[in-house]
Structure 1
């Protein structure tokens, strides 16, 4: 039997008849239909019971024959919440066909919309994986080509992901590029979902209500849920366009809170809840970048759930944030938010490599790339970051970290120079150590200063007499994951090997290495 949460079957029995019985009161605005089971490319005609269907606020469950009925007016989007053990049939553009929008010119009367779920024809995976992209932020066909060659093509057919998501800013205000971008993403062969970002709103929008018209026509709902393994994902548009076109702020709408409340009311507490948004829930830059009242309301909904993970993008740096009492979080343990590194890095900037792809290092020294979320049984999870490219022929740049050290120092000089380790997935709780020439491991100190690797690029851009790329690398800013260890100068003349090891809370020990030389200075 396909995998369905027990609560789904119980709620199907409890909710569906009541929903259908209430239908005559709303008949002129009802949408009804069936959720059908398919295997491969063949639809059996068999309805699936217990499947959640929503209008973006209300949630109903299909009855024993897979039937549902739901109030939905003209212009409203109806969608299905995929349960584990199924995937959506593909729409014409290759994206999951999980939504339909009621036509704006709909006349009174019932409207029929059927959906199809394809039963997975492979054994259930104990730890399904989810690809996490954010901020592809393309503004031209050239940028789409970078995205294709740098992010997508290296993992086509090589990643067994159950689904993927892009957490906003798919484009850089160029919404006409959606179709071309989608054509690249669907080549991954992974069911792909999307969250809108501030650069995905229609140019010239003067308010929030109609700011995602192009988005809605392409990607459907801006707030919806998908279930996979022991996890439930809720993807939320958290970009609020201010009236009069005066910018935007992070926050949520009333209808989103209502949907989230309704969804959580039927979601078992032991399930991992993953909220995917664009703008981080924590404030940045010393100002309110996410509305405080909305954060408090969101936290009130989440505080009694023991397993919650927040995912965000937008910042073009990578960091872990642990919400605590100072942030208004009242849960039993800190609330983890992972702010994912951007696919475009720093907006596809920097000097190009031999293949013509820009360096794209982010301002905190994190290389551009993507992340993988592994869903563990019982509601656990693990995270890993994957840089798009690694510097060839060096141990100093690995998937886990990048090292920087001086090439040469004077023997006997005061030991005022150090080796720096940018541990991309690190935070204040990460243990980072180093040793020289195989000696004892010594602790490194986390520092808040710019990554010297990126400072080198900044200086190279400054002194160049011609552009090194279309756009120069960003000005380096202090990352939250940089460590320093002092290099000894009292060793023998010659080359010395420096090893750094970092202990990732999910991936375990990672090691990188570099060298420096000591020379005698003349009189």
Structure 2
């Protein structure tokens, strides 16, 4: 967090002084905007970005009995992060202490109850932009933890001292956040475990985003697992975000934890000190984004396992672990936050652990306990949920249903769309290296690493998935699921578990024998953002196009798992080069090849049509032989 600490008399600090000022607020050394901007690369975003920090006015005494925090939300006309005389306050702006939500009065002032270990933050209103620091990270909050965090390996939050006299939130007017057309980038699971993987991310998805200039208003939201347990890598992640072209925000994941925290109240203190509040909201255009913390650590038997479905939570002293859950304070905040949001806005519910997902549909730990309560709060609203965590790509539409959701939560269908955004790390940076210097990292669903963009018009949206290193037209992956492949799948899995003798070889995956055709061979299409309402059609050798069948209908059935439901293109890499095995997917279509195909070379042309009618074409050439 970056905060500008000023003396109570509000003496104007000149630009020269600002350029050299370095103070400590909430344990963070502050480098002010002019100095930061001087060394920042030039570009369209960098020429217009509002660089600054929250204004914190220290208390005039050390009284510890003050229980009200006051402050102002103001338009920072001269962009110096200082509330100067004549700079107008903004009325009707939401400010919160993480439990209560108030709106500013006609002059921009607010009052909030204060308590220890709170984060006070402003909800950025559409048409305005909060400051960003030299790393493009949004600055809109202040932590109050007088004695600081308990002793933690990665530091946590340094003592903040007495409650400030005031915490003021500067904003500037912004056309980029005012327009009804927005591109909101949702980036899942960067999850770097070391500096080598930081460089993989830089060469891959981060480089892709650095080339884009279409998300200046909404920015990039990283939905958790920013690092892989080593919180000392946060500065390296910040160095990555310096190259992006819009505001950057983060929410916490289960690999961003202070694992040595003894209670949930301090389990994300280092994340909070380095990157963002544990939860918050912001507006752009006609969109209200809610960033939630859905990871409770350490989970406990009384709160997390009263029904006995989460036995891993029963021994937090000796075997601490996490659970997908919102704490009661956050639920109270969410209720009050949404109560102040106009009902004609699109609400984006972002979290690390998804409210529900397909990959872990039978697991209570990897979904959110209070999913029904969240649905009730959003009843009648236009909404979409976005998440990470499962390292899979999932585009789940209104009405979709998995057996696990029904069994665990009593759901009868999704009330609005849910999107699992895949992972920048893919399958944890596994597999073969690409020519560009990062692993291909094919995921557990056969998906490729990348990011989701919500293309928003007013309060409506369309989603698109961009595979790392590829254009937006690259939306499908084709393969051949033959009896020969299925036999190899089983044999290779056994050999991988007990590698004795030569490894079974698949051979050319694009060669099909007569026996393969007689035993059913499917042409498979992995359609990254394929969903209910999407269609896939296949034409062989220029003949009539026929419809393929989706392998998972999402109508309440259990997961279809195994070689016949797998993505053969992905599995052929994974069983040889390591990583998860794509033995199930909700976005796979298959088309049975005719048994009477002539010996020789054939070409399959595939057209994938998404739920909005957008068409994507692909082709696969294969050979039919009498026998292998």
Q: 1:203 deviation in Å?
A: 2.6
**1:430 and 2:472 matched:** no
Structure 2's unaligned 5+ residue stretches are 1-63, 148-159, 300-315, 481-508, 552-559
Q: 2 CA distance for matches of 1:305 and 1:330?
A: 17
Which is worse superposed, 138-147 or 185-194? 185-194
Which is worse superposed, 221-230 or 31-40? 31-40
Picking from 143, 148, 158, the partner of 1:101 is: 143
Structure 1's unaligned 5+ residue stretches are 1-25, 392-396, 462-471
Q: Match of 1:128, SS?
A: strand
Q: 2 CA distance for matches of 1:415 and 1:186?
A: 54
- Summarize the Cα distance change of 1:207–1:108 in structure 2 as closer, same or farther, 3 Å threshold: closer
What pairs with 1:40-51 in structure 2 (closer than 5 Å)?
41=79, 45-51=87-93
Q: 1:122 deviation in Å?
A: 5.4
Picking from 339, 352, 355, the partner of 1:265 is: 339
Picking from 330, 334, 337, the partner of 1:256 is: 330
Tell me the equivalent position of 1:340.
421
Tell me the equivalent position of 2:351.
277
**1:317 and 2:400 matched:** no
Picking from 288, 295, 317, the partner of 1:232 is: 288
1:81-125 Cα distance to aligned partner (Å, 9 max, x none): 001111111235431110011251567676211111121155943
Q: 1:506 deviation in Å?
A: 3.4
**1:182 and 2:238 matched:** yes
Q: 1:359 deviation in Å?
A: 1.2
Q: 1 CA distance for matches of 2:230 and 2:137?
A: 20
* C-alpha contact (below 8 Å) 1:329/1:335 kept by paired residues: no
Which is worse superposed, 410-419 or 255-264? 410-419
- Summarize the Cα distance change of 1:402–1:115 in structure 2 as closer, same or farther, 3 Å threshold: same
Q: 1:477 deviation in Å?
A: 2.4
Q: 2 CA distance for matches of 1:292 and 1:258?
A: 16
Q: 1 CA distance for matches of 2:370 and 2:549?
A: 36
1:14-61 Cα distance to aligned partner (Å, 9 max, x none): xxxxxxxxxxxx992222222121357456722222211110111111
Picking from 455, 459, 467, the partner of 1:374 is: 455
Q: Match of 1:261, SS?
A: helix
Q: Match of 1:209, SS?
A: helix
Q: 2 CA distance for matches of 1:347 and 1:520?
A: 40
1:129-179 Cα distance to aligned partner (Å, 9 max, x none): 101101000011111101111011123142310211011100110111111
**1:169 and 2:221 matched:** no
Tell me the equivalent position of 1:409.
512
Q: 1 CA distance for matches of 2:624 and 2:473?
A: 25
1:377-421 Cα distance to aligned partner (Å, 9 max, x none): 1x2111000100349xxxxx9621100135233469537222110
Tell me the equivalent position of 2:445.
364
**1:216 and 2:272 matched:** yes
How many residues are aligned here? 479
1:432-458 Cα distance to aligned partner (Å, 9 max, x none): 111112211111122241210122113
* C-alpha contact (below 8 Å) 2:146/2:162 kept by paired residues: no
What pairs with 1:106-121 in structure 2 (closer than 5 Å)?
111-121=165-175
Q: Match of 1:335, SS?
A: coil
Q: 1:330 deviation in Å?
A: 7.9
Q: 1:217 deviation in Å?
A: 0.8
**1:474 and 2:580 matched:** yes
- Summarize the Cα distance change of 1:342–1:292 in structure 2 as closer, same or farther, 3 Å threshold: closer
Q: 1 CA distance for matches of 2:287 and 2:412?
A: 22
Which is worse superposed, 262-271 or 340-349? 262-271
Select the structure that is richer in strand: 1
Scaled by the length of structure 2, what TM-score is found? 0.71
Q: 1:262 deviation in Å?
A: 0.6
Tell me the equivalent position of 1:81.
123
- Summarize the Cα distance change of 1:27–1:34 in structure 2 as closer, same or farther, 3 Å threshold: farther
Picking from 241, 244, 257, the partner of 1:201 is: 257
Q: Match of 1:46, SS?
A: coil
Q: 1 CA distance for matches of 2:234 and 2:146?
A: 22
Tell me how large the CA RMSD over aligned residues is: 2.7
Q: Match of 2:621, SS?
A: strand
**1:350 and 2:431 matched:** yes
- Summarize the Cα distance change of 1:204–1:109 in structure 2 as closer, same or farther, 3 Å threshold: closer
Tell me the equivalent position of 1:66.
108
Q: Match of 2:198, SS?
A: helix
Tell me the equivalent position of 1:506.
612
- Summarize the Cα distance change of 1:109–1:376 in structure 2 as closer, same or farther, 3 Å threshold: closer
Scaled by the length of structure 1, what TM-score is found? 0.85
Picking from 284, 288, 298, the partner of 2:374 is: 298
Q: 1:228 deviation in Å?
A: 1.0
Which is worse superposed, 92-101 or 79-88? 92-101
Q: 1:297 deviation in Å?
A: 2.1
Tell me the equivalent position of 1:20.
none
Q: Match of 1:256, SS?
A: helix
- Summarize the Cα distance change of 1:218–1:506 in structure 2 as closer, same or farther, 3 Å threshold: farther
Q: 1:425 deviation in Å?
A: 0.9
- Summarize the Cα distance change of 1:505–1:352 in structure 2 as closer, same or farther, 3 Å threshold: same
